[in-house]
Amino acid sequence: MRGHAHLVAGFVPGTSPFHKMPLWRKAVLLLVVAIVALASPAFSEGAAALITTVMLLLVVVSHRVAGLPWRRLWRAVRMMVIFLVLIGAYQWWSFGALVAWQVVAAIVATVLASNILTATTPVDELLDGLASMVAPLARFGADPERFSLTVALMLRSIPFVIGAFSDVRDAAYARGLERNLLARTLPVVIATVGYARATGEALAARGLGDPEMDEN
């Protein structure tokens, strides 16, 4: 399958202030954006719209400070355009234009803020951060390393599945089978199952992923 990792937010090397910032600080900033987005409806419509507009502008400026290209910002928004249009239309019809803008701006700001975090933090550092975050749960039987491994596998699998859909769609179109549901889905299922089995075998060969093997 072709590389489709660009469709999922990935690390972009750089020397910006966000690249040098500790992960915990970036996580706190993301949390602040999310809290403001959730709390803004508590204010009046005008105040909420103003707050989310300022927050969105700050996030966009931060996106540029991080040295991320405009196409990456647009890509993050483009993938949810239909969702934003539907949400915005419903909010406009139900509560008016100001509320619709406040909701849409809050969603976009939160997504872009999370995009900054993932784009300026190496994957290994993200996984170590996740493992540290769930470490206190080890006393209840949780396995932080297994949790981070699961997330790592998910991050690798998403681009593969997206690539499988894209490649199969192109192949079906080239054969005039673009309307054949079976031709567009069965190869994806087969490729995904094969990828899962290969991943499982690779983990087993390294003594990972199997609790009984880990105990031995």
- Distance between CA atoms of residues 49 and 145, nearest Å: 42
pLDDT of residue 137: 65
pLDDT in tens, 48-106: 889 999 999 999 999 989 988 888 788 778 778 888 889 999 989 988 888 899 999 99
Whether the pTM exceeds 0.85: the reply is no
Alpha carbon distance 26, 121 (integer Å): 9
Identify the residue with better confidence: 173 or 206: 173
Cβ–Cβ < 8 Å for 112, 65? no
List, for residues 179-198, the tens digit of each pLDDT value.
Answer: 777 777 777 778 777 767 77
Q: Render pLDDT for 27-61 as a digit per residue (tens, 0 to 9).
A: 899 889 988 888 888 788 888 889 999 999 999 99
Beta carbons of 104 and 40 less than 8 angstroms apart:
no
How does pLDDT run across 104-122, given as a tens digit for each residue? 999 999 988 888 888 888 8
Q: Which residues contact 196 (CB under 8 A, 6 or more apart)?
A: 157
Query: Residue 153 carries which side chain, given as an amino acid letter?
Result: L
Residue 134 has pLDDT above 90, yes or no: no
Q: Where are the domains of the chain?
A: 5-121, 134-215
pLDDT in tens, 144-179: 666 666 666 665 665 666 667 777 777 778 787 767
pLDDT of 92 reads 93
List Cα–Cα distances, 21 to 16, 18, 54, 145, in angstroms. 9, 5, 23, 24
Residue 85: C-alpha distances to residues 1, 39, 99, 148 (Å):
32, 22, 13, 35
pLDDT in tens, 3-33: 444 444 477 888 899 999 998 899 899 889 9
What is d(CA 57, CA 72) in angstroms, rounded to the nearest whole number? 16
178 in Cβ contact with 172 (< 8 Å) = yes
Hey, CA dihedral for 75, 79, 85, 87, is it positive or negative?
A: negative
